Amino acid sequence: MPKEGFAVITLTDEAFKRAKSHYRMKSKKGLISKNISFSRFVTELLERALENDSQISQIEPLFRKLGTLNDSIVVTDRSNQIAEVKIIFRKKGAELFCVLDKRADCAHVGFAYSTPELYQFIHLKRKSQDLAKRKRHPIRLSALSVI
């Protein structure tokens, strides 16, 4: 039984692990105070998400994300135009390009920058590039010293 004034919810193992990992990462980086418990962290995160969601649901969105396609984010606007925003990976980061407008600075691109999928794409791309580098430059065992 939870303490008075508290309730218990059930999360999937995956959601719990993600939240715990996020909490640990922010704690390690000093982004949250050490006296903030995991439970309080999740409660505050949920409250902020609910506040944002209720504000967003009161206005008609200018853009909506339809999904992702290879290295692209597909968005639609108020005019129901569907725009594919391509992610072009460079040595230092990524650039976006709207196929519909043939520009890198239209509103579709601006919206794509606000989607979490963009940052997931970039993260996965960096991971795969790191793996490729390791394959090209394997660690030489002879270079390691044994204590």
Interface residues with Zn ion (CB under 5 A) are 83, 98, 100-101, 106, 108
> Which lies closer to Zn ion via its Cβ, residue 101 or residue 117?
101
> What letters, b where the CB count within 10 A reaches 16 and e where it falls short, cover 94-116?
bebbbeeeeeeebebbebbeebe
CB of 100 to Zn ion, least distance (A): 5
Determine the residue type at 14: E
What are the CA-CA distances from residue 89 to residues 19, 57, 118 (Å)? 29, 33, 11
Which of 42, 109 has the CB closer to Zn ion? 109
Which residue, 79 or 142, is less far from Zn ion as judged by CB? 79
CA distances from 124 to 94, 121, 141 (A): 12, 5, 28
Minimum distance of Zn ion from residue 102's CB (angstroms): 8
Query: Closer CB to Zn ion, residue 80 or residue 145?
Result: 80
Task: State residue 74 phi and psi, 5-degree precision.
Answer: -100, 125
Nearest to Zn ion of 23, 86 (CB atom): 86
- Min CB(76)–Zn ion separation in Å: 11
The count of C-alpha atoms lying within 13 angstroms of the C-alpha of 59, restricted to the half-sphere facing its C-beta, is 9
